[in-house]
Amino acid sequence: MKKIILFAFTALLLTSACKKKKTCDENTVQAPETEITSLRNYLSANSIITKEDPRGFFYIITDSVFGSKPTTCDNIRIAYKGTLLNGSVFDQSNSATFTLSNLIAGWQQALPLIGIGGSIKLYLPPTLGYGDKASGSIPANSNLVFEIDLLGF
């Protein structure tokens, strides 16, 4: 009987570990060069100076705090505003909580660049946003801009 209980407990631990690891893997999605070039051209034409991440997003860190930074496993609390390149706001919140692994690829990749109290402005190509599917007032294949303050995790 003890062997059966020990086996069941071990199986449960292994299953839990596998599930947790699967949801916490680093997001490695990369935007195609055509999307990166298009967004780069927009930024250049509008004299917006950013850093470029090799995965295809562009960003400006306005406040970076030293210390721990979130991973995709973490629940994050943020204030944010999302806009299209024309400035139309499609979503915003002063305080929202999400599991980072459940969010769009660009957020999963960019938010670990800042710590609690940090702020980042993201320019995301479609592949790192909502892709070729429309979402609410966001048209398919949209470049997106997000201003995000990391309040906690």
Split at pLDDT 50, 70, 90, the class of 145 is very high
CATH class of 29-152: alpha beta
CB 57 within 8 A of CB 31: yes
The residues that bridge with 91 in the sheet, in sequence order, are 82
Give pLDDT, residue 47: 98
8 Å CB contact between 126 and 35? yes
Q: Rounded mean pLDDT of 116-124?
A: 95
107, 96, 73, 141 alpha-carbon torsion, rounded to 10°: -30
Average pLDDT, the chain: 86
Q: Does 101 score more than 90 pLDDT?
A: yes
Query: Which of these, 109, 128, 122, lies nearest to 62 by C-alpha position?
Result: 122
- Choose between 68 and 40: higher pLDDT: 40
Helices (H) and strands (E) in the chain, counts: 3, 6
Predicted TM-score of the model (pTM): 0.82
Under the banding of pLDDT at 50, 70 and 90, the label for residue 75 is: very high
**Confidence band for 80, pLDDT divided at 50, 70 and 90:** very high
Tokens of 102: 């459940």
pLDDT of the residue at 23: 55
Distance CA 118, CA 80 (A): 12
Q: Which residue, among 133, 112, 128, has the nearest Cα to 38 in the 3D structure?
A: 128
Q: Per-residue b/e over 99-113, b at no fewer than 16 CB within 10 Å?
A: ebbeebbbbbbbbbb
Average pLDDT over residues 66-81: 91
Contact 104, 118 (CB under 8 A): no
